[in-house]
């Protein structure tokens, strides 16, 4: 099926030829250069709109083409100009082409996107409800329901801004939602709550610094859409995993000037020594499957941007569960992603990325390839190879689980760490071997591939799933508010409510819940690898059992800053753990433990059973064993500090007891004149009990204890 004749365009031509580089709309101080890629289009029109984006003022054909790039230079355009594109070409879905000039399209390289999608059937290239489905053709103009691209002036006063470049070994990650973190913050001015500017206010930064956080990991802030099915249920795409603009900061968080507000936020974080890491979604776009809307990529060059089914170009390869997969095997798809990443580093000054469903990005034909194009380009890039790179190492396709599979230079979300810690502290048996591997950096996953413990991003909770409070308060998910009859969200949470589902007045249950939170947090901060804390967990944030709050842009998902004694104790406990980690390099080693004696007969690590002797092979295999200790030698750390001095630390013993009952744990004999000083005991109300232990420690049920060898007996 062919598209209708081209709509009338302005005459005479109002554009000079311009340049094919750079892509996007670029203000040079005198005019604007427009350049957009479409290899299969037969014509591209530039559409200019009034300041409110409601009226199309001009439609100008781009007559200059270099390779697959259409371009033109307008001496009349200025920053603030709203624009979009229309693409002419064949509408032949069976051949992978979906051109429809009736549909206004967003510039994939737009630096700012103004307005939101206002859903109607006109936003689809076909006629929804037609018996031919997407093989039909829709001639309605979609411009009235489309956001518009905005030309920007990229000038910004960065001053002396410098990236903190926190060493990976000293990094503490904190995952948060830009809006949800401050929506209810009483000390953030009301007009700034839920914005980039609100996140950059002193009360927020002071809280993060108090926790010892070194990097905030922001849920998606690249421009995204609220999916139609959510809007029709009066919900919103709260998490933002439906990207449509890879260069534009999401406008709903940015007020009148989201680009500069984002930059100002980054500058404020850097001034406080905090890094900014973006959660990015390059594996799919917000256009969905073959029955989705035509918003940008699909209408510009569907064949070039998406992975189409071999032998069935009407349908998409879908490794993501979101309807489509972006094609990074294609030259222009890979260029767009790498250009976008460089832009966020060089122009927006971010410090790294967490890649959603990263396995999809490294799929070649069609399997995951550790040496594939995307990973190879990143490794060679002089900009991108120097920032923090974190993979979510799985997707939904065949062979998609790739934990441990990414190359050196990458860290990975380690869900095996999450699941083992949850199961161990729940009291499941037969886990102490896995538990030991996870707290020492997961050498079984990363040790054979030239990587170290810092390849493992350790987490107990994340945005996707229960909060820490809900992990110890609910056995089942409670997602009714999502409008899917509680069918959505994982049923495998490895959670334990300790005797009551949800809130309870039982003091004993509430006390044990707080103790379990301390167990999880202490385990996280004392494990080798990168600790990641979910925003609000340090204050007991609850989603009332909802483990999939992706559509809940309301109090259910926002952080509750209501003060309280119990909350404050947990904040202080996290600050204490973070300080211990920061001051003691033994908890953030760059190399795995060796487990054998050095020339002086000293081991860097030793595993203890409650009787005080080393664990035997038989004891590791006992299903009922839920208690063990680990002795860490502070004189056996490889490497040097920032001043070039050999790393040295105290000796530590960490005791873990997931049994219900107390156990007298026999301690190793300390050096002459020294004793085992208590730094952490999660059985105490604050978790920071002080004192010096005797020959045996009364290790309470469901508790963790950290002991440090120091002078005094």
| Angle (CA) 292 295 296, round 5° | 120
Write the pLDDT tens digit of every residue in 185-219: 999 999 999 999 999 999 999 999 999 999 999 99
Q: Is 556 exposed, middle or buried (0-12, 13-18, 19+ CB in 10 A)?
A: middle
Q: Which CATH number goes with the domain that contains 123?
A: 2.60.40.10
CB atoms under 10 Å from CB of 521, counted, come to: 26
Query: Averaged over 124-145, what is the pLDDT?
Result: 98
According to DSSP, residue 614 is labeled B
Percent of the chain with pLDDT over 70: 97
On whether residue 502 sits in a domain, the answer given is no
On whether residue 478 sits in a domain, the answer given is no
CB atoms under 10 Å from CB of 485, counted, come to: 8
Tokens of 293: 């809307």
pTM for this model (two decimals): 0.96
Round to whole Å and give the CA distance between 390 and 411. Answer: 5
Round to whole Å and give the CA distance between 388 and 493. Answer: 29
On whether residue 439 sits in a domain, the answer given is no
Domain boundary among 151, 185, 216: 151
Contacts of 417 (CB under 8 A, 6+ apart): 438, 442, 456, 458, 459, 527, 529
Q: Which residues are catalytic?
A: 356, 392
Domain boundary among 151, 186, 208: 151
Domain boundary among 106, 134, 151: 151
On whether residue 483 sits in a domain, the answer given is no
- The answer, yes or no, to whether residue 12 has pLDDT greater than 80, is no
- The answer, yes or no, to whether residue 312 has pLDDT greater than 50, is yes
Task: Name the domain count of the chain.
Answer: 2
Determine how β-strand 275-280 pairs with β-strand 703-711. unpaired
Tokens of 242: 């439906």
Contacts of 573 (CB under 8 A, 6+ apart): 518, 521, 686, 687, 688
On whether residue 260 sits in a domain, the answer given is no
Write the pLDDT tens digit of every residue in 342-363: 999 999 999 999 999 999 999 9
Residue 10: what pLDDT? 52
- The answer, yes or no, to whether residue 529 has pLDDT greater than 80, is yes
Residue with tokens 């100002």: 264
C-alpha separations of 390 from 168, 265, 354, 413 in Å? 11, 22, 4, 7
Closest CA to 225 of 234, 216, 237: 237
CB atoms under 10 Å from CB of 619, counted, come to: 16
CB atoms under 10 Å from CB of 607, counted, come to: 18
The range of the structural domain enclosing residue 44 comes to 24-151
In sequence order, the β-bridge partners of residue 34 are: 25, 72
Residue 602: what pLDDT? 79
- The answer, yes or no, to whether residue 6 has pLDDT greater than 50, is no
Write the pLDDT tens digit of every residue in 90-119: 999 999 999 999 999 999 999 999 999 999
According to DSSP, residue 239 is labeled S
**Counting every residue, how long is the chain?**
713
| Angle (CA) 164 169 173, round 5° | 65
Indicate the SS3 state at residue 124: coil
On whether residue 635 sits in a domain, the answer given is yes
On whether residue 205 sits in a domain, the answer given is no
On whether residue 694 sits in a domain, the answer given is yes
Q: Which CATH number goes with the domain that contains 659?
A: 2.60.40.1180
- The pLDDT mean for the chain works out to 95
């Amino acid at each position: 099926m062919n598209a209708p004749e081209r709509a009338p365009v302005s005459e005479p031509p109002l554009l000079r030829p311009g340049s094919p580089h750079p892509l996007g709309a670029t203000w040079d101080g005198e005019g604007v250069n427009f350049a957009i890629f479409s290899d299969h289009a037969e014509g591209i029109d530039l559409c200019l709109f009034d300041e409110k984006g409601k009226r199309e003022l001009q439609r100008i054909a781009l007559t200059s083409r270099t390779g697959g790039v259409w371009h033109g230079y307008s001496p009349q355009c200025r920053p603030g100009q709203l624009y979009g594109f229309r693409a002419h070409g064949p509408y032949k879905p069976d051949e992978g082409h979906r051109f429809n000039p009736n549909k206004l399209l967003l510039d994939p390289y737009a630096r700012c996107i103004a307005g939101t999608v206002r859903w109607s059937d006109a936003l689809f290239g076909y006629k929804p409800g037609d018996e031919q489905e997407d093989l039909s053709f829709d001639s309605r103009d979609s411009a009235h329901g489309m956001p518009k691209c905005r030309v920007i002036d990229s000038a910004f006063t960065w001053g002396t801004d410098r990236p903190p470049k926190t060493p990976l070994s000293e990094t503490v990650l904190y995952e948060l939602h830009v809006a949800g973190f401050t929506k209810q913050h009483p000390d953030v001015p009301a007009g700034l709550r839920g914005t980039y500017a609100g996140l950059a206010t002193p009360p927020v930064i002071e809280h993060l610094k108090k926790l010892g956080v070194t990097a905030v990991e922001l849920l998606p802030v690249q421009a995204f859409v609220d999916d139609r099915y959510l809007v029709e249920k009066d919900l919103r795409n709260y998490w933002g995993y439906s990207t449509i603009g890879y260069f534009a900061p999401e406008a709903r968080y940015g007020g009148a000037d989201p680009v500069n507000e984002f930059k100002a936020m980054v500058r404020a974080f850097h001034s406080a020594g905090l890094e900014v890491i973006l959660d990015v979604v390059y594996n799919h776009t917000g256009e969905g499957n073959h029955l989705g809307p035509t918003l940008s990529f699909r209408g510009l060059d569907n064949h070039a941007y998406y992975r189409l089914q071999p032998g069935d170009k009407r349908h998409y390869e879908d490794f993501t569960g979101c309807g489509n997969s972006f094609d990074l095997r294609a030259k222009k798809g890979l260029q767009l992603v790498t250009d976008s990443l460089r832009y966020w580093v060089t122009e927006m000054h971010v410090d790294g990325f967490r890649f959603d469903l990263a396995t999809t990005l490294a799929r070649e034909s069609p399997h995951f390839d550790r040496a594939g194009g995307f990973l190879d380009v990143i490794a060679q890039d002089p900009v991108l190879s120097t920032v923090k790179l974190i993979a979510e190492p799985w997707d939904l396709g065949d062979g998609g689980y790739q934990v441990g599979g990414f190359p050196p230079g990458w860290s990975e979300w380690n869900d095996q760490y999450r699941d083992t810690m949850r199961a161990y502290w729940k009291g499941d048996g037969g886990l102490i071997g896995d538990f030991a591997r996870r707290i020492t950096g997961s050498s079984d996953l990363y040790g054979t591939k030239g990587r170290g413990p810092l390849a493992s991003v350790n987490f107990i909770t994340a945005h996707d799933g229960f909060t820490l409070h809900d992990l110890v308060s609910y056995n089942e998910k409670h997602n009714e508010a999502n409008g899917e009859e509680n069918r959505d969200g994982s049923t495998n949470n490895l959670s334990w409510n300790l005797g009551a589902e949800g809130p309870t007045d039982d003091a004993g249950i509430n006390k044990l819940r707080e103790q379990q939170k301390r167990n999880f947090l202490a385990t996280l901060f004392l494990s080798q690898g990168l600790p990641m804390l979910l925003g609000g967990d340090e204050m007991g944030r609850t989603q009332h059992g909802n483990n999939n709050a992706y559509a809940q842009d309301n109090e259910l998902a926002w952080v509750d800053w209501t003060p309280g004694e119990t909350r404050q104790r947990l904040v202080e406990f996290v600050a204490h753990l973070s300080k211990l980690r920061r001051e003691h390099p033994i908890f953030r080693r760059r190399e795995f433990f060796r487990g054998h004696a050095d020339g002086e007969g000293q081991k860097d690590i030793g595993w203890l059973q409650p009787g005080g002797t080393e664990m035997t092979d038989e004891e590791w295999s006992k299903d009922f064993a839920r208690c063990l200790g680990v002795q860490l030698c502070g004189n056996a750390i490889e490497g040097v500090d920032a001043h070039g001095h050999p790393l040295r630390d105290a000796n530590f013993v960490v005791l873990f007891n997931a049994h219900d009952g107390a156990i007298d744990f026999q301690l190793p004999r300390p050096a002459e004149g020294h004793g085992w000083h208590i730094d952490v005991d999660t059985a105490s109300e604050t978790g920071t009990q002080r004192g010096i232990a005797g020959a045996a420690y009364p290790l309470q049920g469901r508790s963790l204890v950290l002991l440090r060898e120091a002078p005094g007996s």
